[in-house]
Amino acid sequence: MTVVYGTVCLDLTYRVPQVPPTGGYVEIAQEQRALGGEAANTAAALCKWGAECALVGNSIGSGAEANEIKRALLDHGISYARCPDGDHPAPVCHILVTPDGERTMFGRGFLEMEQRSDTSLVPHSPGSWFTADPNHGAAARRAMREAHSAGMSCYALDFVRDDDCLPPGSFWQSSTSWVGASGEWERNTRWLQDWLDKHDVTAVLTDSDGGFIVGTRQGGIRRLPPYPAGTVVDTTGAGDVFRAGMLFCLERRKPLAECLKFAAAAAALNCGGLGAIGALPSREQVESLVAEHPGIAAKYDEGV
């Protein structure tokens, strides 16, 4: 069973023509209320593809919005979800999405997540996969250390501090939204090489429609292209679905190149709808996109 630890919230997503200037106004073209948060998005993808998954998140509080999150978890097939009880408003993320698919986010309740989490809820199973995002601060880092000590394989998302717990042999993923610079291949390669000099991991740094770079301390760094999947509506959640794709294949002991193909294709397809998982693809859709582009698949086979 893959254990996903981290952020669970309610996403309120708005498609707008542009982000308004100070004092300005824009008309909302489309809006959506849906399950959100890095951990919840990843768990939803894993469950859709038939993986056995446990979600352990922050407290979602009480009230109508908390009940909305609970219903959404069940709607996405996440039957194993453990969140501490709490008498507070549910965490909510307001997301403005512009026509280029980029987003601007405003949150409520995220700064309190570290105090509203409980790592003792994490089920430890030696040999199983564990993944976390850093939004829970010290609690997330403690959860990673505890999972590693329990003999679990670890996958870290957006842990970008030099002192983060990244066990040797684990997987690490982030994007140019956090480190490096979008579109600057050489700069990103230098950054990732420096990161690999400090951490003995398999590292993936994604760059939206620029594809991604992947590397290890011993094997060097390679640049790989993205999969084309039509019009990009919303890039929110692409990294979470990429992570889910990697974990889905890693749990099945697939070669790294196969894991990356599935992850990249799933992330590309997920950008076709509004919301972090508004266009979450089926396993068959992901595999079909990979099969439709043997030339891209060959580059993955050659580069990894």
pLDDT along the chain (304 residues), means of 10: 97 96 95 97 98 98 98 97 97 96 95 96 97 97 97 98 91 96 95 96 94 93 93 95 98 97 98 95 98 97 87
* 2-303 CATH: 3.40.1190.20
End-to-end alpha-carbon separation of the chain, Å? 27
Q: What's the pLDDT at 294?
A: 97
With beta carbons less than 8 A apart as the criterion, state whether 173 and 225 touch: no
DSSP string, 50-111: T--EEEEE----SSHHHHHHHHHHHHTT---EE----SSPPPEEEEEE-TTS-EEEEEESST
Rounded to two decimals, the pTM is 0.97
CA distance linking residue 244 with residue 250, whole number of Å: 10
CA distance linking residue 194 with residue 146, whole number of Å: 26
CA distance linking residue 84 with residue 177, whole number of Å: 30
Q: What's the pLDDT at 163?
A: 87
Q: Domains of the chain: which residue ranges?
A: 2-303
Label residue 223 exposed, middle or buried (CB < 10 Å: 0-12, 13-18, 19+). middle
Q: What's the pLDDT at 208?
A: 86
CA distance linking residue 188 with residue 4, whole number of Å: 28
CA distance linking residue 229 with residue 289, whole number of Å: 8
